Structure 1
Amino acid sequence: MVSPSISITNSRLEDIDEIFRLYGIASEYQKTKKTVVVWPKFKRELVETEIWEKRQFKLLLGGAVACVWAITFSDEQIWEERNADSAIYIHRIATNPDFRGKNFVSKIVAWAKAYAEEKEIRFIRLDTLGNNSKLIQHYTNSGFDFLGMFNLKNTDTLPEHYKEAPVCLFQIDTKA
């Protein structure tokens, strides 16, 4: 049997309804987990800006959107003094439930390593909220180092859910 092909590309404005559908599904799934902080409703303008700036991505499996995520190159309120490092920050990974269990995080890591090498970026980073041991294990199994749980000093301009729990920080040093 032939496996459907996987590709990663920038999201486009015509993907925005699917992106928000996946965010909604992720939020509903998070509500079923007692240790997980639930994503708020994100602003459409945020995602539109990410698309225009080519910072919103999709993983296609056989032509279907299987997973989406966004990136930034600065994340000062979360990473504080570490923000001075050359880094790519991955945010809001949301998987289409039709494709769960396919370990897309490892595919995102492979993509991010190539992206970081091309752009001469040292670190690949992401965060999650709360003490979600299964997600911590999933990210470490995908190649991230777990740096620990931290209380953020300033959450003023972060989405509301960052005020609800300590943040778990993860990174991959591309030079290690």
Structure 2
Amino acid sequence: MIQKADISQIDQILAVTNACANHMKNLGIFQWNENYPNAETFINDIEHEELYVYISEKMIVGCIVISTKMDEVYKSVNWLTPTSNHYYIHRLAVHPNQQGKGIARSLMDFAENLAIKNKIVSIRLDTFSQNSRNQKFYEARGYTRLGDIYFPNQSELPFYCYELPLPLKAS
């Protein structure tokens, strides 16, 4: 079940993302660290009603942020569609002991279906250049890799931007 997150779920959400950060570190992927993502970031996501959680057996096992706000760093990217009405995906995470069960796919299906329902032009996101699993995941879903951006507080290495233009359905 996917639902909007609430403030009482912060500890569970952080448990998922901390487990993901440690799992990635063990794989040599230094995408997330002690500074990011953090409680303050998730509280902001909840206040903006942009954070969704995936619940299985009464436990949060995954999360995704679906935002309409374009971060400043994205302005340098040569996007496929004119910037106007987009969703930006951030902080997609699935607890390592739940990976491989289709949860990330379900979270992205949810985001894409919500976007189509709300007549969103495209979905934009970034993923760490050293995370080839994520790159394959998005490319298999039809996302096109575009420019590189940098988050110096996370890594000196680039993050790759992706976009998926969506079909606009008539009402």
TM norm. shorter chain > 0.5: yes
> Which residue of structure 2 aligns with residue 169 of structure 1?
161
Shift of 1:124: 1.3
Q: 2:61 aligns with which of 52, 59, 66?
A: 66
Q: How has the CA–CA distance of structure 1 residues 146 and 67 changed in structure 2, closer, same or farther, with 3 Å as cutoff? A: same
Superposition pairs of residues 38-117 of structure 1, within 5 angstroms: 38-41=32-35, 42-80=37-75, 82=79, 84-117=83-116
Moved over 4 A (4+): none
> Which residue of structure 2 aligns with residue 146 of structure 1?
144
Q: How has the CA–CA distance of structure 1 residues 60 and 151 changed in structure 2, closer, same or farther, with 3 Å as cutoff? A: closer
TM-score, reference length from structure 2: 0.82
Q: What is the CA RMSD across the aligned residues, in angstroms? A: 2.3
**Cα shift readout 1:25-70 (whole Å, capped 9, x = no counterpart):** 1111121123543334334222112112211110112332121121
CA distance in 1, matches of 2:97, 2:41: 26
Shift of 1:174: 0.9
Aligned AA (1:122): V
Query: Where does the alignment leave 5 or more consecutive residues of structure 1 unmatched?
Result: 1-6
**Cα shift readout 1:100-140 (whole Å, capped 9, x = no counterpart):** 11122221222112211232211112211223322211222
TM-score, reference length from structure 1: 0.80
Task: Name the count of aligned residue pairs.
Answer: 163
Percent identity, aligned pairs only, is 18
CA distance in 2, matches of 1:107, 1:172: 16
Query: Where does the alignment leave 5 or more consecutive residues of structure 2 unmatched?
Result: none
Aligned AA (2:19): I
